[in-house]
Amino acid sequence: MKIVLLDAYTANPGDVSWAPLQVIAECEIHDRTPVAETVARCAGAEVIITNKAPVTREIIAALPDLKYIGVTATGYNIVDVAAAKERGIVVTNVPGYSSPAVAQLVFALLLELTNHVGHHAQTVAEGRWQACPDFCYWDYPIIELSGRTLGIIGYGDIGAAVGRIAVAFGMKVLASKRDWKTSPPDGVTPASIDEVFAQSDAISLHCPLTDATKHLVNGRTLGLMKESAFIINTGRGPLVDEAALAAALNSGRIAGAGLDVLSVEPPKDGNPLIGAKNCLITPHIGWASREARIRLIAATASNLQAFLDGKPVNVVG
């Protein structure tokens, strides 16, 4: 069996192991694969493993031996799932592997917006504390999270992990979820999306990207928010209308934003959020802890083995 890894570098730049897959079959590992080279590299392959390298209808049609596509991520929009299904090709993803890491980043962003640790540490490194006439100084208001309200839109594994941390901080939690099949935990109150926008001091986005949620953060919903409120997006970039958010930040309509995702990644020159007022942007690192990537590779191998055993799991499409 031939297994081809199209874009292995981001999941494993060398600090973890592909051994869980390599014990199943020999792996042909490519750090990155341009679309134009995908068919040639995958000729004769029964299994493709991809993260962000597209597997289009045209690529699928050109690979008659292909039986399985494993996505080393939760999102799988880079695969033409309909074309795969027409060919009887199984496509799987890996849900849940990054929940602790993403939840931690949510609060890393929120705490930077409320405590400005990075900024103040930089001013100390530049010598400002030595020159200060007082024993301390701060350039921004230091904001306590305790007693404030965190709104969570999308209360799945990651949203629930964020909620637990928020409760531990002493925050009130409003959560919007499509279907509450069980009662929410203590400290979490169900709310509509508009209630979340209007009542929260910070909002964290964890819903899937669909036609209904694209540009969920837009001029109207931003207009519902408190001027002192923050937006955190570690979900999907297109959940946010970037021009509308930039305008709200630059005008002071809301207090700040922390983003780990953008609509186009890497971003193009001219993205309105890069350089916007009180806007923190990290380069899609929420999933990338070493622990999360070890879980990701193990789950990817487990998905493939389940398929080979005739009992596929985490099938999408």
- The active-site residue, picked from 206, 236, 293, 295, is 236
- 178, 265, 290, 291: which one is catalytic? 265
92-96: long-range contacts at Cβ-Cβ below 8 A with a sequence spacing of 24 or more? 92/68, 92/303, 92/304, 92/307, 92/312, 92/313, 92/314, 92/315, 92/316, 93/314, 93/316, 94/296, 94/299, 94/300, 94/303, 94/314, 95/157, 95/314, 96/157
Q: Is 236 a catalytic residue?
A: yes
Tell me the per-residue pLDDT of 221-276, one tens digit each, with 9 for 90 and over: 999 999 999 999 999 999 999 999 999 999 999 999 999 999 999 999 999 999 99
pLDDT, tens digit, 9 for 90 and up, residues 148-182: 999 999 999 999 999 999 999 999 999 999 888 88
Residues 6+ apart with CB under 8 A from 122: none
> Which of 317, 304, 305 lies closest to 70 in space, CA to CA?
304
State the Cα–Cα distance between residues 66 and 63, nearest whole angstrom: 6
Give catalytic status of residue 284 as yes or no: yes
167 burial via Cβ count (<10 Å: 0-12, 13-18, 19+): middle
The residue written with tokens 């981001």 in the block is 10
Taking the C-alpha atoms of residue 83 and residue 5, their distance in angstroms, rounded to an integer, is: 20
Q: 41, 215, 253, 284: which one is catalytic?
A: 284
pLDDT in tens, the chain (317 residues): 899 999 999 999 999 999 999 999 999 999 999 999 999 999 999 999 999 999 999 999 999 999 999 999 998 989 999 999 999 999 999 999 999 999 999 999 999 999 999 999 999 999 999 999 999 999 999 999 999 999 999 999 999 999 999 999 999 999 999 888 888 889 999 999 999 999 999 999 999 888 999 999 999 999 999 999 999 999 999 999 999 999 999 999 999 999 999 999 999 999 999 999 999 999 999 999 999 999 999 999 999 999 999 999 999 98
